[in-house]
Amino acid sequence: MTDLTTRYLGLTLKNPIIAASSGHTSTVHYVKELEENGVGAVVLKSIFEEEILNEFNEHMNSDDEFQSNIEFLDYFDYELKEDSVNKYVDLIKEAKNAVSVPVIASVNCVSAHEWTDFAKKIEEAGADALELNIFLMPSDAKKTGQEIEETYFNIIKKVLDTVKIPVAVKMSSYFSNLGNMIQKLSETGIKGLVLFNRSYSPDFDIEKMEVVSSNVFSKPEDYTLPLRWIAMTSDHAKCSLAASTGIHNAESMIKLLLAGASAVQIASTIYINGAGQINKMLTELETWMSKNNYLNIDQFKGKLSQKNLKNPAEFERVQFMKYFSDRAVD
């Protein structure tokens, strides 16, 4: 009998497929559908620190009289936050009641300010873990890379001081020394790192002369970015790693596990192929494991991580020169 269980964030998941935070994890109905299709855990749609603040700003801008009343402003600020948070707290409670797989809450955060109080409410609501989706757009030309990195550590410290549930950080791949950043983040006391988040990218409509959203879904070949970094960091990281971006099928999931990931997070393939894709990936994982005589995930997890390769430099090669010099070019 093939055992698909895996340990991630100190939790035992019945299999390594986690539904990543997205519209597909935004309602209890969807969460139940994901469980029915075999998912190992779900990360709920993020509550956005930014969204709460924007909502507040919109109201501020739309009413001059309102702006001049500081007391009312304070009250309204509080009310708005309470409303968003209460809705989110309800979602956690309802999801926990509806499914037996771990429910991971998610906050999309850009600062270590007020929102950290919400972390406590998330814990009290019964979330099994909290994922911090930290993405700081490096658009402020006056800010140094070091200042941006410090924000990550400040957010983590504040949250770890507030909650006891396991905390994961979903990070971006845009760092000047990504290997060092992954290692340092893994040593902060968090229980997991998700490599990597995928940011929304703007595009232009050249007929309407407008800014529009580019395609939000990843492509199946995008998995090579987390593959490289998980293979290079999993031997040394002090927390568990989950792979996210471009995992659309069983083959890329198996590759990420071979690189050393404890789990994979999927979103785009659920949008494109439906929740049934989870079951398909699990069946194919089992078939591959049986064919290769693996009884459990630990028997092959990390088998192709950097330290286990005959030529560890393979993952560090950034130029195509060697690859192409070995092949005849017409």
Ligand X SMILES: Cc1cc2nc3c(=O)[nH]c(=O)nc-3n(C[C@H](O)[C@H](O)[C@H](O)COP(=O)(O)O)c2cc1C
Say how far apart CA 134 and CA 109 lie, in whole Å.
5
Say how far apart CA 325 and CA 201 lie, in whole Å.
35
76 lies in the site for ligand X, by CB under 6 A = no
172 lies in the site for ligand X, by CB under 6 A = no
Q: Which two tokens stand for residue 27?
A: 């309602």
Say how far apart CA 249 and CA 278 lie, in whole Å.
9
20 lies in the site for ligand X, by CB under 6 A = yes
Query: In the beta sheet, which residues pair with residue 171?
Result: 195
Phi first, then psi, for residue 252 (nearest 5°) are -70, -30
Query: In the beta sheet, which residues pair with residue 246?
Result: none
Count of alpha carbons within 13 Å of 140, Cβ hemisphere only? Answer: 9
Is the CB of 43 or the CB of 294 nearer to ligand X?
A: 43
268 lies in the site for ligand X, by CB under 6 A = yes
In the complex, minimum distance from the CB of residue 134 to ligand X, in angstroms, rounded to a whole number: 9
197 lies in the site for ligand X, by CB under 6 A = yes
Q: Residue for token digits 């620190």?
A: 49
Where in 107-126 is the site for ligand X (CB under 6 A)?
Answer: 108
Where in 123-142 is the site for ligand X (CB under 6 A)?
Answer: 133
Is the CB of 125 or the CB of 266 nearer to ligand X?
A: 266
In the complex, minimum distance from the CB of residue 198 to ligand X, in angstroms, rounded to a whole number: 4
Is the CB of 103 or the CB of 294 nearer to ligand X?
A: 103
Binding piece for ligand X, criterion CB under 6 A, among 17-25, 69-77, 91-99, 286-294: 17-25
Q: Residue for token digits 């020394």?
A: 177
Q: Report in angstroms the alpha-carbon separations of 319 from 49, 177, 273, 315.
A: 39, 18, 34, 11
23 lies in the site for ligand X, by CB under 6 A = yes
277 lies in the site for ligand X, by CB under 6 A = no
What do you get for the CA distance between the two ends of the chain, in Å? 50
Binding piece for ligand X, criterion CB under 6 A, among 138-146, 159-167, 261-269, 322-330: 261-269
Q: Report in angstroms the alpha-carbon separations of 41 from 25, 70, 94, 248.
A: 11, 44, 15, 17
In the complex, minimum distance from the CB of residue 312 to ligand X, in angstroms, rounded to a whole number: 27
Is the CB of 20 or the CB of 250 nearer to ligand X?
A: 20
Which of 172, 244, 252, 306 is close enough to bind ligand X by CB under 6 A? 244
Please report, as ranges, the residues that interact with ligand X according to CB under 6 A: 20-23, 45-46, 106, 108, 133, 170, 197-198, 216-218, 244-247, 265-269
